Chain A
Amino acid sequence: MEHVLLIAAGDFKARVARYVLTALAIGVGVALLVALVAVTDATRDYVERTLYKVYPADIMLYSDSINIPMYLVEELRNNAAVETAEGIILISGATEGRVVSVVGIPLRDVNYFAVDLKEGRLPASGGEAVVEESLGVKPGDILVVKVYSGASGVERTLKVKVVGVMRSFLKGFVGAFRLNLVVVPLDWLQGSIDAGPFVNTVLITVKDKAQVQPLYLALKETYRDAQVYTQQSLLDTVTKVFTALNAVFSVISGAALTAAVITTFAVMSITVRERLREFGLLKAMGISSREILLSVVVEVALIAAVAGVAGVVTGFLGANVVKDVLLRMGINFDVPIAFRPHYAALGMAASLAVALIGAVSPMYKVARLRPLEVMQLWR
């Protein structure tokens, strides 16, 4: 084995510049892969965690119309399987050309959604609202909101006094999650839009998670006009979105890794062609094909290891740098990107795979080399 290392090390020293370039090509592909995976993972985790925070219910019953009676909410609270049941109104509206989501929630539970107050306070009476910072208002401002959902279905104008401003859910880093929430007391909203003792959303938590599915099925069966969601179904949707995102990112990093395969192939082909004389000589001396091949594999593995480590480190640091740059540019992408061991495993595996795929054809040439043919060419 020592002679294999001697051959590998000797050649490596002789061609270090070329091999550094190869490692660079592989490293860029690996860095891109690791960066994209790290960003996707961090974003998904952040969205999931925030979903748990803002939607701490196991089951959500939702109707397009405000037609779920409050007594049903009471009945659900009395159900042995149910821990809590919260009836709210969730409707869309507009203010100064911007779409807002108006949420009516009982005053005693106004903090149900883990409101993160930036300034001011929570509403204490009808006509007061806590609004999302994305609306750009401050405590004391009057906000006029037109809503279209009501018992009568006609347009209504709500005039609310802003008493508090809350930080955006998910920090508003993706437009779709910028809800422009306007949270008001439920009874005031019901009165303002003539909804009566009805809500259109019920958020339910269960005592035992094993009860989620039976309750979900019972609600679906009982309220055929309403839509029933579970926390898991929302998370599944998030997972689907990120799976699609991953597919796009895979194509991007796949292109970079393919370029790295081509670079490795080109470099190793040139190297093998240059070394044919030497390989022929080594074989003529009696060094076996397996040992010569092994020396090439050692070199390729060394290139892959260096590229892998550099790629993993650069990818992870790069993702954080890009995040900082985006934040400085005013793009709200404040997602904590944490290092996970599987990034290192993924990066190293990708690096090794790229290097070996790129080198397989040149290595095959080495394995098939017959010393006499080379020596005859040499004459």
Chain B
Amino acid sequence: MAVRLHNVSKIYGDGAARTVALDYVSLEVSPGEVVALMGPSGSGKTTMLNIIAALDRPTSGEVYVMGVDVTKLPESKLEKFRLKNVGYLFQSYNLVSYLTAEQNVALPLMALGVKKELALLRARVLLELVGLEGAARLYPHQMSGGMQQRTALARALAANPPILVLDEPTSNIDLDNASVVLGLIHVVNRLTKTTVFMATHDPDVARVATRVVYMRAGRVYDAVEPPRREFKADMERAAAVYEKLRHVDELIGL
């Protein structure tokens, strides 16, 4: 299993302010699955993503990510665990404002101990994957929202994580860029068997998923296989870029 949640609860506050964000949720996800979490606001989608991404701890229950019970890891080890295992794409673009696109993408690799030059090399190939080969030296304020979100996706993929967590990845960008981002998620999943979790309100976005999980009031109500949408992804081009990445990874030892 890539991820296994067993009787996971998350409760915020107490007394009158007590909020049950997750209510004994259990879920098993195999490697290579694309899971879309759908449901109204406050249904627990983001809480579930945060717990899977090891950004938050459940009140009770077990959370296994890549075979490791992340609830038992101390904070210092969780940081490294996230770095190696989870790529997180936020709703907003969330790039470091004073770093260029390639520096933003290279940062997680450098934090893993990869030399700057090699990290930047991999970053440039990843930017090519997301179609931003000409934007490597641009700062976030010099890029459009869609470019920033694609850069953020490249960064999420930087350390070659087995799990991608995407929190409403297309809600702040235009339709064209949304289509590009979804196409990239599709490509990455197909080529690398990366397990993907994404929270979304948009049923059309959910069609990139292999499984849709409906949530309400902190509970999982339904898990269905949605009709797959065919994205206009250039698989041939992406495969060529991934071939380049493999060469870089051999140099890096990733």
CB-defined interface of A269-311 with B at 8 Å, one 1/0 digit per residue? Answer: 0000000001001111111111100000000000000000000
Given known pairs A3-B107, A378-B92, A379-B91, the reply for A288 and B98 (CB within 8 Å) is: no
Which residue of B has the minimal Cβ distance to A14?
Answer: B98
Which of A288, A372, A379 sits near B55, CB closer than 8 Å? Answer: A372
- B54 nearest CB across to chain A (Å): 9
- B153 nearest CB across to chain A (Å): 13
Tell me how many residues of B have a C-beta within 8 Å of chain A: 31
Is A288 within 8 A of B97, CB to CB?
Answer: no
Is B98 within 8 A of A10, CB to CB?
Answer: yes
A-contacting residues, B109-137, CB 8 Å: 110-111, 115-116
Q: How far is the CA of A127 from the CA of B55 in the complex (A)?
A: 98
Given known pairs A2-B115, A2-B116, A288-B79, the reply for A372 and B84 (CB within 8 Å) is: no
Task: Point out the residues of chain B lying under 8 angstroms from A379, CB to CB.
Answer: 91
A-contacting residues, B148-189, CB 8 Å: 155, 159
Q: Which residues of A contact B (CB under 8 A)?
A: 2-3, 6-7, 10-11, 13-14, 278, 281-291, 371-372, 375, 378-379
- B157 nearest CB across to chain A (Å): 12
Is B98 within 8 A of A283, CB to CB?
Answer: no
Task: Point out the residues of chain B lying under 8 angstroms from A372, CB to CB.
Answer: 50, 55-56
B201: Cβ under 8 A from any A Cβ? no
Is B99 within 8 A of A287, CB to CB?
Answer: no
Given known pairs A289-B79, A378-B92, the reply for A284 and B55 (CB within 8 Å) is: yes
Is B55 within 8 A of A10, CB to CB?
Answer: no
Q: How far is the CA of A286 from the CA of B109 in the complex (A)?
A: 10
Q: How far is the CA of A289 from the CA of B115 in the complex (A)?
A: 21
Is A286 within 8 A of B83, CB to CB?
Answer: yes
B64: Cβ under 8 A from any A Cβ? no
Is B110 within 8 A of A2, CB to CB?
Answer: yes
Q: Which residues of B contact A (CB under 8 A)?
A: 50, 53, 55-56, 75-76, 79-84, 86, 88, 90-92, 94, 96-99, 103, 107-108, 110-111, 115-116, 155, 159
Is B82 within 8 A of A375, CB to CB?
Answer: no
- A371 nearest CB across to chain B (Å): 6
- Given A7-B96, A287-B111, 8 other A-B residues pairs in contact with their CB atoms under 8 A: A3-B110, A6-B110, A11-B98, A278-B96, A284-B90, A286-B83, A287-B79, A287-B107
- A374 nearest CB across to chain B (Å): 11
Task: Point out the residues of chain B lying under 8 angstroms from A3, CB to CB.
Answer: 107, 110-111, 116
Which residue of B has the minimal Cβ distance to A378?
Answer: B92
Which residue of A has the minimal Cβ distance to B96?
Answer: A278
The 9 closest A-B pairs by CB, nearest first: A286-B83, A3-B110, A10-B98, A286-B82, A288-B79, A14-B98, A2-B116, A372-B55, A287-B111
Q: How far is the CA of A10 from the CA of B103 in the complex (A)?
A: 10
Task: Point out the residues of chain B lying under 8 angstroms from A14, CB to CB.
Answer: 97-98
Q: How far is the CA of A288 from the CA of B79 in the complex (A)?
A: 6
Task: Point out the residues of chain A lying under 8 angstroms from B110, CB to CB.
Answer: 2-3, 6
Q: How far is the CA of A282 from the CA of B96 in the complex (A)?
A: 8
- A35 nearest CB across to chain B (Å): 37
Task: Point out the residues of chain A lying under 8 angstroms from B81, CB to CB.
Answer: 286
- B103 nearest CB across to chain A (Å): 6
